A and B are shown apart, each in its own frame.
Chain A
Amino acid sequence: MKKIHIELIMPEGKKIDEMVDSINVPGVDGDFEILPDHTPFITKIRPGTLCLNTNNKTTKYAIHDGFITVDKDKVIIISEIAESEKEIDLNRAKLSKERAEKRIFNSKDEDIDYRRAEVSLHKAVARINTIG
């Protein structure tokens, strides 16, 4: 079966460089799946779970931002933060979710605090969902 070459490039270096069967990506306009022979495609990633599927096994990563380009069975993701299941601290994520919710509840909308709390809420939810 045809495979896809995926690379995840982070500021600290390459995090993933492997061959997989399919990839599930959280895009800004909705989640999508990449299978071999996908059309050339560029999009932005929203906070969520990135799944790499190989031989019916799935590896999950919490990903927070970045861009993905698909070009001839080669997928490259550039992202500033991506964590594998092992690296996620579930308790910390839950705490930061609570904190962010409280801040969103208390602040008036559209100011900077509100937007920052929103971002950290998205990140926390992405982490929790990746584990769950």
Chain B
Amino acid sequence: MANLRDLRTRIDSIKNTKQITNAMKMVAAAKLRKSQDLCINSRPYADYVERVLFLLQQKNNTKTHPMLNTPNPNGKILLVVVTGDRGLCGSFNSSIIRYTNQYMKDNNDKVYDLLCIGRKAYDAFKRSGKVVQHFTNISENTDIDNIYPVKNAVLTMYSSGEYSKVEIVYNEFKSAIQQELQCKQLLPIASTESESEHYVDFLYEPDEETLIEELCTKYINVELWHIMLESNAAEQAARMTAMDNATNNATELIDQLSLLYNRMRQAQITTEIIEVASGAEAIQQ
């Protein structure tokens, strides 16, 4: 029974893997709590920027600002793809990549470009020749300043007039065990007029155009930041679930293998006893 030792080695290696997956689960759980809090705390801010923008739109009936109304309806589409930088988080990255591939297939007739956030998205699409810009290693740092380069890139590209709209694909954090893939239009900013809010005649300082310009920039910034937080929380949640499953599978495998190992050991001992006993028997006769 030579493979008794092999079995032993296998059990040990699974035990090591289990320890790692368990540690990763703990880390993801701790990070999840942090990003979940941030995500929830940031909601009033994002909502309020949106509300002020809405109040301004109410007065400024023209809506001629390029960020509210596209200046070039036949332009290209810019698709912002948000994934994580690391793997081992279940279908978190792959579902985004699958969706983007499908999107590209469905919109074959239109011209589009990709802007990738996160290493996984860049790795998946760098050969397609569609990636115009990519950002990696920015999802872990949750400061709002951290998103400025992305915002600047998106706004510069959009204001060049080449693009008709900017869409963003990301995972929204639903709960610790559920993420939902979202595809949202980032620019031009969709009007939120459905709210039945009272009309107030506000005074503006300096003037409406300057305010709209500033607010739109801020809105994009906040929106991108909020999406990064959502995606970050979703990634941690996905990793936590994936690692929890991996740990459970490892436990199950260890149990099965231990059973097999013990049975084999028992069998070996029995054989040895029989051998010794029959040897002794032979000598007595």
The interface of chain A, by Cβ under 8 A from chain B, is: 9-14, 27-29, 39-44, 67, 69, 71, 76, 78, 80
Q: How many A-B residue pairs have CB under 8 A?
A: 66
What number of B residues sit within 8 Å (CB to CB) of A?
Answer: 25
Given contacts A13-B41, A14-B44, A42-B56, 18 further A-B contacts (CB under 8 A): A11-B144, A12-B42, A28-B206, A40-B202, A41-B202, A42-B202, A42-B203, A42-B204, A42-B205, A42-B211, A43-B204, A44-B205, A44-B206, A44-B211, A67-B214, A67-B215, A78-B52, A80-B144
Residues of B near A76 (CB, < 8 A) are 48
- Cα distance A14–B205 when bound, in Å? 25
| 30 sample A-B contacts, Cβ–Cβ < 8 Å, listed by A number | A11-B42, A11-B45, A11-B225, A12-B38, A12-B42, A13-B41, A14-B44, A27-B205, A28-B205, A29-B206, A41-B205, A42-B52, A42-B203, A42-B204, A42-B205, A43-B204, A44-B206, A44-B210, A44-B211, A67-B211, A67-B214, A67-B215, A67-B218, A69-B202, A71-B200, A71-B202, A76-B48, A78-B48, A78-B49, A80-B144
Question: When each residue 179-222 of chain B gets 1 if its CB lies under 8 Å from chain A and 0 otherwise, what string results?
Answer: 00000000000000000000011111110001100110010001
Tell me the smallest distance from the CB of B203 to a CB of chain A, in Å: 5
Please measure, in the bound complex, the distance between the C-alpha atom of A14 and the C-alpha atom of B222, giving whole angstroms. Answer: 15
Q: Provide the main secondary structure of the chain A interface.
A: strand
User: Cβ of A10: which chain B residues have Cβ within 8 Å of it?
Assistant: 45
C-alpha gap A42/B200 in the complex (Å): 11
Taken together as a complex, chains A and B put the C-alpha atoms of A74 and B52 apart, in Å, by 14
Q: In the assembled complex, which residues on chain A have CB atoms less than 8 Å from the CB atom of B55?
A: 42, 69
B contact set with A: CB distance below 8 Å: 38, 41-42, 44-45, 48-49, 52, 55-56, 144, 200-206, 210-211, 214-215, 218, 222, 225
Chain A hits for B38, CB < 8 A = 12
B200 / chain A contacts, CB cutoff of 8 Å = 40, 71
Question: Quick one: closest A residue to B205, CB to CB?
Answer: A43
Which of A27, A42, A69, A80 lies at the interface centre, i.e. has the most chain B CB atoms within 10 A of its CB?
A: A42
State whether A9 and B205 are in contact (beta carbons under 8 Å apart), knowing that A40-B200, A44-B211, A69-B52 are contacts in the complex.
Answer: no
User: Within the assembled complex, what's the spacing in Å between the Cα atoms of A9 and B144?
Assistant: 14
Q: Which 9 A-B pairs have the closest CB atoms?
A: A13-B41, A43-B205, A40-B202, A41-B203, A40-B200, A11-B45, A42-B202, A11-B144, A9-B45
